[in-house]
A and B are shown apart, each in its own frame.
Chain A
Amino acid sequence: MDTGARVEGKQMPSRTRVEHGEVAVSNDPGDVLEARDLAACVAICMFDPIANVGGLAHVVLPSSTIQDGPTRPAVFADRAVPLLIEAMTEKGAQPTHLKVTMAGGAEFIGATADDPVGGLGRRTVDAIDGLLRARRIDVTQRSVGGLGSRCVELRLGEGRVVVDPE
């Protein structure tokens, strides 16, 4: 099965675009991991400033309750979060050191959380919050909700995440 995960080091290009359902992790300070046009999707960025390891997951749906198919596991929040943490720790990161940013989760005008399409972003954000809370991992930066789409990039060399628009 294509896990969609890419755990690479020095061979990685300096800028890696992380598409729907993908996870990317790097410890190369020259790397930038980015997710563009998130809309209702949610980017989870993690960075361990001690190990200098960063990772990004581009999440589409809150849970993997649908049947398994030829879909990247990180499409779903409940698979993306453990997959990202596992890939980070394989590179030497410690869960207790992680700085976490969440961005995206836009929704349609007047959408409620139970709206299957309009409220998708909010449900995905809530699902990720719950999954991180269960692992005692705090979200240190968040830019979620609203009507507009966002782009996000994790600059490993600077150890910071830029969300546009904030």
Chain B
Amino acid sequence: MRAGIRLPVLPHVAAAVIEVADSPRASADDLREAMSTDQALVAKLLRVVNSPMYSPRQPVTTVTHAIAFLGFESVRNLALAASFSDVLTSGAAGYGLEPGQLWSHSVAVGCATKLLSEAAKYPQPEEAFLAGVIHDVGKLVLSVNMEREYGGAFAGRGSGDRPFDEAERACLGFCHAEAGAAVASDWGLPKLLCDAIRWHHSLDANGSGLLTHLVHVGDAIGLVLGYGIGRDGLEYRFCRGALQALGVGDQQLAGLMAAVPRAVRRIAGSRT
């Protein structure tokens, strides 16, 4: 990757949650302790748990309650996803995304990927949510470069028949998916997540795992619904084979596309 690119700093609390995740003997108390320094994060986590994605019978008001409701591993993944909100809320001007828009897209893709994962009977829906939330973190890394290049070498190269990620690669030497995977790896996230980020626009390029297929379709849903649409618009290819790989039918797909806006409203608030 081209030298001189600065990777975003991993949020402190996210580092603590990853440490808990990496420890085989970690307990619910460790996770609660890791989050205890950031009550805003706890509030974000609880907003997700109380959203229409889960619809608990009684409001979930504490981390302990959330763990009892969803289980340790699920809450850990949701906490990790929530811990990236500040990083992803900043703008990515190079992609034409104002502050808040990338987070809006991230939440929409997280919700869509999670709902898809349930339809596809993927064993860890919250892992799918996390992967959806952080799939475009590479746009933060490349934003400055894109801003510099858009009026110059990149001008006009991202339209027409060529997908935007290919145009990025032609202009910068790599695309936001590759940059995102490098960031995720640097942050110590599991290889499965790094791979899903790396290949979410190019399913044919590897023996893509189920999580990558989920993120590919979840990203497409976030885009067609208009969440966090930047200057790349819909300049991507959608791989229909991903739906076959997931075993998700048209009716299921339509149902969850109709459900995503409500979940996003509850988690991210009004659209930005």
Contact = CB atoms under 8 A, between A and B. Distances in A.
Interface in B237-265: 237-238, 240, 243, 250-251, 253-255, 257-259, 261-262, 265
17 contacts: A19-B265, A40-B223, A60-B257, A65-B254, A66-B251, A69-B255, A70-B262, A71-B258, A71-B262, A75-B258, A106-B234, A108-B236, A108-B237, A115-B238, A116-B254, A120-B257, A147-B235
The 5 A-B residue pairs with the shortest CB-CB distance, nearest first, are: A39-B226, A37-B226, A40-B224, A20-B261, A118-B238
A39 B234 contact: yes
Interface in A35-50: 36-41
Interface of A: 17, 19-21, 36-41, 60-61, 65-67, 69-71, 75-76, 106-111, 115-118, 120-121, 147-149
A66 B161 contact: no
A118 B221 CA distance: 9
Nearest to B237: A109
A65 B271 contact: no
B212 to A, nearest CB: 16
B193 interface: no
A160 to B, nearest CB: 23
Nearest to A109: B237
B145 interface: no
A67 B226 contact: no
A147 B261 contact: no
Given A108-B234, A109-B161, A60 B240 contact: no
B220 A117 contact: yes
